């Protein structure tokens, strides 16, 4: 007969951790997308002038995220910055997401055929109008699948914030495992919650893509 020491309070604790994971994902993706769009446009339109920016973003893409968390948290303590661990996590995850989002946006902008842009200019559109009405709409559709994958990746990467003291879903599950010593059950439940959250994001993205196709 199956028996467990897992209680309803434990499940609520896991859901609270899942909510922290969602908040971290939303905040970091908002930061990363805003920075990524700006940097991506600069990298696509001014490639040579933005080479230093490209090198800087390469650092954030190359250095493991865990090291970035530890270093930024240590810098916060050394500099005496009075910011919460949650804010540190949002900043680090946001910059990390921006480094990848920049390349996603850049590739989307560069995917727009140059002849199409020349045609729009020959029809009288200004440079700004060309970007707004031709380049950005087409680039968005190309870049959206990559951006959606970035969202799912960042959601899983939030598990690393446990190393700076934030109780998100994985940290909550480990706390419960330590108490009741049932790792298989608890981690299966945590994995199911991650799956449900990822499935919701993927389904919303697929629905948005289908609407774009219907409007074509």
Number of domains forming the structure of the chain: 1
Question: Does any domain span residue 102?
Answer: yes
Question: Does any domain span residue 3?
Answer: no
For residue range 11-65, list pLDDT tens digits in order.
999 999 999 999 999 999 999 999 999 999 999 988 888 899 999 999 999 999 9
Question: Does any domain span residue 100?
Answer: yes
DSSP class of 113: -
* Confidence (pLDDT) at 165: 85
Question: Does any domain span residue 1?
Answer: no
For residue range 194-206, list pLDDT tens digits in order.
999 999 999 999 8
Question: Does any domain span residue 91?
Answer: yes
Question: Does any domain span residue 120?
Answer: yes
Question: Does any domain span residue 191?
Answer: yes
* Confidence (pLDDT) at 153: 93
* Confidence (pLDDT) at 96: 95
Contact 205, 213 (CB under 8 A): no
For residue range 57-95, list pLDDT tens digits in order.
999 999 999 999 989 888 888 888 888 889 999 999 999
DSSP class of 46: S
| Helices and strands per DSSP (H, E), number in the chain | 9, 0
CATH number for the domain harbouring residue 31: 1.10.3720.10
For residue range 100-152, list pLDDT tens digits in order.
999 999 999 988 887 877 787 777 777 788 788 888 888 888 899 999 999 99
Q: What is the pTM of this model?
A: 0.89
Please check the confidence at residue 1 and state whether its pLDDT lies above 60: no
- Of 76, 68, 82, 87, give the one whose Cα is nearest residue 23: 87
Q: Could you tell me the residue range of the domain that residue 123 belongs to?
A: 8-215
């Amino acid at each position: 007969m199956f028996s467990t020491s897992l209680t309803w309070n434990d499940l609520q604790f896991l859901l609270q951790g899942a909510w922290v994971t969602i908040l971290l994902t939303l905040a970091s993706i908002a930061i990363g997308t805003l920075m990524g769009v700006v940097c991506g446009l600069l990298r696509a339109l001014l490639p040579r002038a933005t080479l230093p920016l490209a090198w800087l973003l390469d650092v954030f893409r190359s250095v493991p995220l865990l090291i970035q968390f530890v270093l930024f948290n240590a810098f916060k303590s050394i500099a005496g910055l009075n910011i919460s661990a949650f804010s540190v996590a949002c900043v680090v995850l946001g910059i990390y997401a921006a480094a990848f989002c920049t390349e996603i946006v850049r590739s989307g902008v560069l995917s727009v055929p140059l002849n199409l842009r020349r045609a729009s200019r020959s029809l009288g559109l200004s440079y700004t109008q060309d970007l707004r009405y031709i380049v950005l709409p087409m680039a968005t559709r190309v870049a959206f699948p990559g951006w959606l994958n970035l969202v799912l990746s960042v959601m899983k990467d939030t598990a690393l914030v446990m190393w700076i003291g934030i109780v998100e879903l994985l940290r909550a599950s480990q706390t419960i495992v330590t108490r009741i010593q049932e790792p298989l059950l608890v981690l299966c439940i945590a994995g199911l919650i991650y799956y449900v959250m990822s499935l919701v994001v993927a389904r919303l993205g697929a629905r948005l893509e289908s609407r774009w196709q219907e409007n074509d």
